[in-house]
Amino acid sequence: MVTAYISHPDCRLHHMGRHHPEQPARLAAIDDRLIASGLDAVLQHHRAEPVARSALVAAHEAAYVNEIFARAPRDGVLWFDGETAMNEHSLRAALLAAGALVMGVDLALAGEAARVFCAVRPPGHHAGRDRAMGFCFFNNVAVGAYHAINAHGLSRVAIVDFDVHHGNGTEDIVAGDERVLFCSTFQHPFYPHSGAGSTASNVVKVPLPQGADGALFRQAVREHWLPRLAAFAPQLILVSAGFDAHRADPMAGLNLVEADYAWVTRQLCRQSECSARGRIVSTLEGGYDLHALARSVEAHLKAFLGD
């Protein structure tokens, strides 16, 4: 099954400081691992293109999108909060990151590639309708979901998120929209200090305690995600692929390993084959230990390829 890999070198120009964990080296580490493993040669490579404003305002408030464009610096660094900043290249990188999801959806729905991975940054799942936070400016996966709905006429799109942090921005955008099913696992209590408690009927949230391992994660997916995904029968699955729940990651306290990411990817592939003609579009979110990140992406992509 053809697997596409979408990236762009300009995503590495976004930089928030020498010691910031969300650094350009993340993409370099992934690329190096894919070359060393031989996966790079079997992937269908594409360069991301900037997203159109019309796609952004399907997921975000128009005033917020305009604010991001207006505030983006031409030099220096502008901080939106204590961990989220833009340099002179960040707006283009953010437009490319969201554009990669649009391209990925188009490739999948045209039948050019059943599985797609977007190796882009900045990440997106903390960006809400009208707020940048948590290293994120535009909610890439939500932009992709609404592009699938508005441009391709889909009526059932699933977003699954296994990042260690709650995808609060994604929940903010899609909660209550029955065309979208949002399933997530995340460490709790933990940044962004959200995710517990009741929510809309189209949101499935499974908080995991600090120290949770692959067994507990797999149980959560089996008991909570998979039945809802089967009942929803998505026509397309989108993945917020955060690899910072890995036991080696310095940013959190869960204990997943590469085999857990391969396992959950295979479960999503099985569901996609049942209801979505095999179509999955995945995008990079977290993952800050470079070696663990690269190995985890390798496992994710090998599962896409059927290994």
Q: Which residues are part of the catalytic machinery? A: 126
Tokens standing for 215?
A: 């067994």
CA distance 74 to 68: 13
CA distance 113 to 278: 9
CA proximity to 88, closest of 80, 96, 78 = 78
Q: What separation in angstroms does the CA of 258 have from each of 154, 243, 246? A: 32, 9, 8
The residue count for the chain = 307
DSSP-derived secondary structure letter, 225: I
CB neighbours of 275 closer than 8 A, spacing ≥ 6?
A: 156, 233, 234, 235
Paired residues of 63 in beta bridges: none
CA distance 237 to 175: 17
CA proximity to 6, closest of 107, 95, 144 = 107
CA distance 175 to 201: 8
CA distance 114 to 104: 9
Cβ atoms 68, 91 nearer than 8 A: yes
